[in-house]
Structure formats: C-alpha cells, structure tokens
Structure 1
Amino acid sequence: MEHADLIVIGAGQSGLATAALAPRHGYARILVLEAADQPGGAWPRYCDSLTLFSPAGYSSLPGMRFPGLPDRYPTRDEVVDYLRAYASHLTTAIHTSTTVSSVTRQGNAWSVRADGGREFTARAVVAATGDYGTPYLPDLPGRAEFTGRVLHAADYRSPSTFAGQRVVVVGGGNSAIQIAAELGEVADTTLASRRPIGWTPQRPLGRDLHWWLKHTRLDVAPIRRLLLMVPVSVLDDGRYRTALDRHGVGQREMFSHLTAEGVVWADGTKETVGAVILATGYRLAFPYLAGSGALDADGRPQHRGGIATTVPGLGFVGMEFQRNFSSKTLRGVGRDAAHVLSRLSRAR
C-alpha cells in the first residue's frame, strides 16, 4: 500500500495543473494516477486535424508557457507534446496504466483502489478525470435497424474513412462544425441540429475572443452571470463557414429517426445515408466515487466550486463551468486547481 498527502486522479490538463500547484499548498507527497500509458488525458484520442480554438498565448498551464508564437492556434499533437513535456518537469510521481476502481472514505483518510489490486491512501483526493471519457450517445429511434455506421465524434479520426459516402454530422457546436468542414471535401455531408447554428467571431476588432474575455474578466465571472451573458455558439475566424459553403455542406433540422438505409428528416423525406457522426458532447461520470457519498442519485458530484459538500477532503478540477467560463480550458484549470487546493489544505 502506498501513502500520500494528496492523490490526483487523472494526468490530463486538470490533473497535471493540480499536481504542479499542490506543493505550494503544503502537500509534500503527491501521487497522480492515470489510466492511460502516458500523461495527456483525452487529447491523444481526439481527431487528427483538431486545432485549438484558443491561441497558444492563452493555452498554458501554471508555470510553463505554451511554445511558439502566442497568436497561433496549436494542433492536437502540439497539445499532447506540451502536456507530456509539462508532466516530465513535475517532481510528482505519476503512475500510468493505473485505472482507479474505487475511492472510499476510511476514518480520516481516503482509500483508493486500482484495477489489479493496487491500493493507495491519502488525506485528500482530487478527481481530475473530467468528462471526455464518457461520450454522450443520444437515443436515436431506429438505430437498431440502421445498417450504416454510427459513431461518436470521440471515435472520429480523419475524413479519409468516409470518402465518397453520404454522411450526417449531428450537433451544432465547435466539434460538429470542424468535422463537417473537413468531411465536406471528401464526402456528401449534412449538419443536423435541433436549433440553428450560432456563430461568434473568433477575432472581433482584430483581437482573439480570449483576449476580450480576459480583459473584461468575463472568463472569471460567476457562472450565473456568464450563463446570462454568453450565448452558446461556434467560434470561427471565417475558415469554417467558408469551408462549409465551399464544400456544399448543408444544414438541416435534426432527423426524426433512422431507417435501415438512412434517415427520415423532420419534413418526412427519406434519404439514404452511410454514416452518422454524433458530435453530441460528453457527460460527467465518476464511477470510482460510487458509494463514497460524494455523488447525488444521478451520479453527479455534489460540490461548490469544486469542493465536495457531502464528504471531507475531496475536490474536483476540470468540470465544465465548475466556477466560470474558463474552468475546462487549458488556461482556466490552473485557477480552479489553486482554489480547490487552497480550500482542501485549510480543512486539513
């Protein structure tokens, strides 16, 4: 059995930021437990062409600048390389290929078990696994009869797999747009969404939106205020709208159901389709916290600003809108990690 002052579950951006800041808050022995064989969280599994919607200058974790020109938009592989370099500079012990199966309270400490029988204990635990490990797959009427391919955006890698096919991309967010824009070059592609797609200029008045969020302090504003002020829409500097138009990617209201051959659109028309890609987001899931008392009846964490409200010594980092607009971003997780660590250390 291995003992620590703090155990961080997950070695993605949230877990690494938490591990980097933990010594400043009095934690000497820190363990990071990561299910994958290398640090990096979900980033290595994203599609090959993924490009950040935040420039490099606004994509850094605490203590290490993202390399390159600050105004450029890094690729997936650059983010993976950055996170692994960041991990290599930490003095924290990172146990990879270690899938946490349960976290339970034992007296004044937490008992953490991993697959294979490994056991760890700590006075405090931070769950930093986020939601990208649990893609949301909506119930599609007729899916059992559909003979084509249905996959989540999490399993999409490149457009070449779909060359020459008829493809429907479901969703109206950044991922759906980016996938549809590149698919349109090689496949007959349509975007299907439940409401019209909204667009937000990525560089209003020549400045990236993240510059405006920082200087207006909207990215650290209380979440209720943000929900009232920031519409849900797609960030674009013009390239994606241009690509959709150039490749003739259509936009339609969500189809009503699937058939063996394809889809039935809302107006009743039928169309043969070879593949449906669901860019429908992700859902928080903390299966290892089942029975810990930290989750509600629906499996959602009971917390305030990332601090568990029903059990002591437990925090969360990396949840969308955990404290504000930037909570789930590369530059925002550090602020949330500092907040959670400060609260946990005061309670020791």
Structure 2
Amino acid sequence: MIQPVAVIGAGPFGLSTAAHLKARGIPVRVFGEPMVSWRDHMPAGMLLKSTPVASSLDAPQPGHNLVDYCDAAGIPRLVTDEDIIPVETFIGYGEWFQQKLVPELERVRVVSVDRNTGGGFELKLDSGELFTARAVVVATGLYGLAHLPPELAAAAADGPAPTGPFSHSSQHHDLSGFKGKELIVVGAGQSALETAALAAEAGAQVRVVSRGRGRVAFGAPPWDQPKLRPESPFGRAWSLWALSYYPHPYRYLPAETRHYLVRRVLGPLGAWWLKDRFEGKVQVSEVDRIVRADATTGTPELTVATPGGGTQRLTADHVIAATGYRVDIAAMDFLGPELRTRLAVSRGTPKLGAGYVSSVPGVYFTGLPAASSYGPVMRFVCGTEFASPRLAKHLAAAHG
C-alpha cells in the first residue's frame, strides 16, 4: 500500500498545496477545518486589505479563482483594484475551492507527528487513529502564533483572554460586546486599525496606541498609485514587484536582512478605504513604547513613553493587542520533541531549502512559516501561486 502525504491545515496554503499534489497523482490526506482562521479568528464585518487579483488560491487547473467563485455563487464579480472583498465572501470562496478540489478533507486534528525508523512519519489524530505518511506538509497558518508584546504578556499572567483585561485581536470574532466600553487597541497595522474602526462602529470608545516606527497611516488609493513603476499584487513599486514574482533568491540573503524585510516590507499600513471610517472616530496615541502594563486593580492600565521624553498612563475597560503573529517552531506542539530538535531554525522559524523542504527530509512548511525563507509574499494568499506548484514538484521528485 502506498503511503500518503499528510497535509496539516486547511486554509489557503494547505488547500492549494493539496490540490497540486493530487493533480500529480500523489495520495494525500488533508486535515483541519476549512478556512478556520478566517471564519473564527477574524472580526465579523471585516474587509480584506488585499485586492481581488491578490486573493485567489492557486489551483493546478483553471476555473477555481475568486472570479470563478463569484460566478458560481451568483454574486457580483470582484475584479478591479477598487473592488473590496468582504471576509464572508472570501471564506465562502475557500470553502467552495475545498469542496471542488479537496472534497476528501478530514475535519480532525493532528495531535502528534514523529519520525519512524523506516524514514516516514507516524501521525496520531484526535480521533485516535495512527497512520504512516511518507511526507508531511505543515500549513497550519496562524494557529498558535498570536504574538503579544513582552510588556502585555507579562501582565497577562494566564495568557491573553477575551474576557480578561488583555487579549489578542485573533480572539475576537464579535466586537459588539464592547458597546459602551472604553477600549485600547495596540498596533498600527490593518488588523489594529480595522479592529478599532469596527469596535467604534459597534459603539465602543476606542483609542489606538501605536508604538515606535508604527505610526498610523493609510495607503494610497489605486488611482493615486505611481504610474511609472511595475505593478504587483500589493501596489506599484520595484521592491514589491521583485518580492512578489521573484522570491527564488530570497533565502540566500543574510539572515538579518531576511528577517528585517519580513517585518518591514508591507508593514503597518491601513487600507485606503479604511481612512474615512477611522479618522474622527478613533483616538490615536503615537508613543515611543509601552513601558509596562498592569491590571492588578481589575482595570487594565498602560504606562507609555511619549515622544517628548515623558510618560503617560492610559486606562480602559479592555486592551486588545493587534500585534500580529510570530512564527515559533516551539509553539507547534503537534510536532514531536525529537522532530523539533532536528529542524534547523533561524529566530524560531524553519530554514527551508528548494521546494520548501526543511532540514528534515520529508517535512515541508508553507504559508507564514516560510516567509523568513521566501519573503513577505508568503504572508499573503497570492503566495500560493509561487509556493504550491514548487512544493508539489519537489515533493513528487523526492517522495513520489
């Protein structure tokens, strides 16, 4: 009996990879809830920052992009850079893609992955089943990677919680519970600014606290983009064009440069269409840093260092850290201890070679964990166009 390839995760990168592996005739077992991060960990009413051209899952055959879904669902086509995608539409698209191309998806969780003596991998599912796979693709997206600044993490002794004083933006699907309350949102990226706008629209009194270089700003609308620069899924700029379409050499850059670019390129910036919903509705405190956080009195309080050299105390009923995600192999607790120790890492992220393979032959990473090896495009859905066919080709050659 031919051992299958296990794909762990059923978000955009997991589904796209599985579709490409299947097209090559490779037996695949795919695990997870389809689009779960988008459905359960993004706020209701959210709109995608990415344009329609940057929001299609890559498929091995035509007929499965976002426009195809719009046609199949009988909804208006989302085509131009001025078309804005509701998160509910994108979730529906991902589920449609899964039903069409990965219908055998198994909605169970992988509890553990370990190497076996035969060179393959032993997987245990939460159903109790044990089975052997010839290779494993880790495509778990944002699962377990929510990041809190050290100052907030220290104050949230038992971890961030939606009902406690401090939480992470991924823990809030419904922001209506903040109606009539004072809310602080820490961050300056799209997640922070859109969370703040949605909470304000739900009736909360909201203050955004942006730190250091993360000043609140919004991108230029499509009609104000520079005309004499190459077009990319993220806007017109030579750097964005190169990182979008030529990620091949990225992994050869010095580690310091790679990690810096992942953090800074396409960094904190609100979408152009969010500006009118934000300005005048949300207070903004641009600070140098958060000195400390405290909730011993039951009310969360932030002490911040101001640009003038002083300090200021900010209080609210709740503090949401919309401070993104940080890849850390140690947080991927489904990977067995021995397997984790064998993985070469750089600042907690896996070092990947050609075809997205890790230092352990047969273990592949795609999506956000691959960003430090293949660049910022791996943080976005359009990264599937580069990643999925190359991963499938490498895996087929090595383990087909």
Compute the TM-score of the two structures, normalised by the length of structure 1: 0.86
Distance 2:109 2:58 in 1: 25
Q: What is residue 32 of structure 1 aligned with on the other side?
A: 30
Task: Please give the root-mean-square deviation of Cα atoms over the aligned residues, in Å.
Answer: 3.1
Residue type of the partner of 2:359? T
How many residue pairs were aligned? 342
- Retained in 1: the 8 A contact 2:53–2:233? no
Counterpart of 1:335 (choices 386, 390, 400) is 386
- Retained in 1: the 8 A contact 2:108–2:126? no
Counterpart of 2:367 (choices 318, 333, 337) is 318
Distance 1:310 1:107 in 2: 18
Against the structure 1 CA distance between its residues 243 and 116, is the aligned structure 2 distance closer, same or farther, given a 3 Å change threshold? Answer: same
Gaps of 5+ in 1: none
2:196 maps to 1:180: yes
Matches within 5 A, 1:46-65: 46-63=42-59, 64-65=64-65
Distance 1:334 1:112 in 2: 28
Classify the secondary structure of the residue corresponding to 2:219.
strand
Against the structure 1 CA distance between its residues 62 and 191, is the aligned structure 2 distance closer, same or farther, given a 3 Å change threshold? Answer: same
Residue type of the partner of 2:53? G
2:90 maps to 1:79: yes
Work out the percentage of aligned pairs sharing the same amino acid: 26
1:47-74: CA deviations, max 9, x gaps?
1022111122321112311122212221
Residue type of the partner of 1:340? L
Name whichever structure is richer in helix by fraction. Answer: 2
Residue type of the partner of 1:50? M
Q: What is residue 219 of structure 1 aligned with on the other side?
A: 244
Distance 2:174 2:102 in 1: 36
Distance 1:288 1:22 in 2: 23
Q: Deviation at 1:42?
A: 0.8
Distance 1:130 1:231 in 2: 18
Distance 2:245 2:198 in 1: 33
Against the structure 1 CA distance between its residues 218 and 296, is the aligned structure 2 distance closer, same or farther, given a 3 Å change threshold? Answer: closer
Gaps of 5+ in 2: 71-76, 226-230
Matches within 5 A, 1:261-340: 261=299, 262-266=301-305, 267-284=310-327, 285-290=331-336, 291-292=338-339, 293-294=342-343, 296=345, 300-304=349-353, 307-319=356-368, 321=371, 322-340=373-391
Residue type of the partner of 1:25? R
1:143-189: CA deviations, max 9, x gaps?
569x9621110012243211222211111211011111232342222
Compute the TM-score of the two structures, normalised by the length of structure 2: 0.75
Distance 1:124 1:247 in 2: 50
Q: What is residue 115 of structure 1 aligned with on the other side?
A: 126
Distance 2:102 2:168 in 1: 36
Q: Deviation at 1:342?
A: 1.3
